Amino acid sequence: MKIGFFYVPYYPLTTSRSVHGYQLVKALRKRGHQILSCLGDGNPDCINFERSKSGALKLARQADVLYIRITGRPGHSFLEKSTLLKLIRPFSLPVVWEINAPVEEVRANISPGPDCEALIRSENRKRKALARLVDAGIGVSEVLKNYIQEFLHIQKAYYIPNGADPCLFDASRMEETALAHLKDMFKIFWTGNAGTPWQGVEVIIELAKKMLTIDPDILFVLIAGDSLWDFPVLKNLLILREVPYVAVPHYLASADLCLCLYKPYDWIEYGFYGSSLKLFDYMAAGKPVIASDMGQLSAVIKHDVNGVLVGQDVTSIIERIRELKGNEQKRKLLGARARQDVVDYYNWDRVAQQTEDVLQEVCRG
């Protein structure tokens, strides 16, 4: 197939925000498909058209299907508008939306008030109108699949969770970092953008502060992206900023335990709708994970089988951390089972295969 690919900036691969697009293109190319792009990223795995209206029209005339990423940010609404390219071939150019977030996500980034709610209403009207041209929708979580069907009224809706690259996180391929010299410290890792409101950074800082008096041998290592979040100075807290994604596995190899904690979505009625990339990366690295008992996290992590699920109470999280710190055998078992789940299912080859199935179905009409 020739797949017209309309996506948020994903090339070159930099942070976790670009991982899905980069890995999906790579995996679809491996399956023999041609990826057409006119967004100017210059990915050599794509057939690149000029970044202009004429370039987009040329792409649409050659594509078998359009694959369009839909986010919760108004700044990315140009991606939704690319759906209109279907009108030049209304009966022979199917459109698939990959939904990453509902419009209401802007409440997490914009001050609440009448202007914010007016923006949401306006963007929802546009999204619903364009959805009439869409042949199928892919949600990265079950919540988003329901959103596609019940709110956008796209009849064909599919659930395709994210994954990780087990080869990239293979422990046998890791280079030693400075963290390897901190052998006497029990290292707990967290990765993500601290500036994103739904990340549980405040909880992790509270954990670190309380652990100072409970167990000073625990070191919290945060790979915090390019966020300018104002971290406190604590002797058990190490902040690594702007680590390239391909370097993350090398640092993660030193982790004894990983945290995948989120705050409840009290600003949206859909609940937790994410498909956490950090979770699958931790699992691919064979690390034991403590994750919030919410949304897709609860479906992927089976409590005390391939990880540990916790609520929002910091005291209970501390208890689980100390329990796992004192049980190396259990940590190894949880990590091994988690990695096997990535090898068997939660990987990008499976994502590409399921995505290919959807694209072929809509192309068949």
CATH number for the domain harbouring residue 190 = 3.40.50.2000
Q: How many CA atoms lie within 13 A of 201 on its CB side?
A: 21
Residue 141 sits in the same domain as residue 190: no
pTM equals 0.96
DSSP for 346-359, please give it.
SBHHHHHHHHHHHH
Same domain, 136 and 225: no
Cα–Cα dist 159/144, whole Å: 8
The confidence score (pLDDT) of residue 341 equals: 98
Decide: 96 and 358 in contact? Cβ < 8 Å: yes
Judgement on whether residues 268 and 193 belong to the same structural domain of the protein: yes
Q: What is the pLDDT of residues 106-151, one digit of tens each?
A: 888 788 899 999 999 999 999 999 999 999 999 999 999 999 999 9
For residues 200 and 244, membership in a common domain is answered with yes
- pLDDT beyond 90 at 89: yes
Residue 13, SS3 per DSSP: coil
Residues 205 and 246 in one domain: yes
Please report the pLDDT score of residue 13 as a whole number.
87
pLDDT at residue number 160: 98
Same domain, yes or no, for 139 and 262? no
* Beta bridge partners of residue 95, listed in sequence order: 66
DSSP category for residue 332: H
SS3 23: helix
Closest by CA position to 253, among listed 192, 173, 349: 173
pLDDT digits (tens, 9 = 90+) for 13-25: 877 668 999 999 9
* Together in a domain, 180 and 268: yes
Number of domains into which the chain is organized? 2
Strand partners, 34: 2
Instruction: Please check whether residues 157 and 244 belong to one and the same domain.
Output: no
- Which tops the pLDDT comparison, 99 or 108? 99
Q: Are residues 176 and 303 in the same domain?
A: yes
Do 263 and 200 touch, CB atoms closer than 8 A? Answer: yes
> Which residue type, as a one-letter code, is found at position 232?
P
Nearest to 338 by CA among 271, 291, 275: 291
User: What is the pLDDT of the chain when averaged over all its residues?
Assistant: 94
The pair of structure tokens assigned to 311 is 């609520």
Nearest CA to 290 out of 271, 272, 264, 316 is that of 316
164 membership: H or E segment, kind and range: none
Greatest distance between any 2 Cα atoms in the chain: 67
Residues 184 and 323 in one domain: yes
In tens, the pLDDT along 233-278 reads 999 999 998 899 999 999 999 999 999 999 888 778 888 999 999 9
* Shared-domain flag, residues 65 and 183: no
Looking at the structure, do residues 148 and 214 belong to the same domain, yes or no?
A: no
Tell me the residue range of the domain where 297 lies. Answer: 171-344
Q: What is the mean pLDDT of residues 313-318?
A: 96
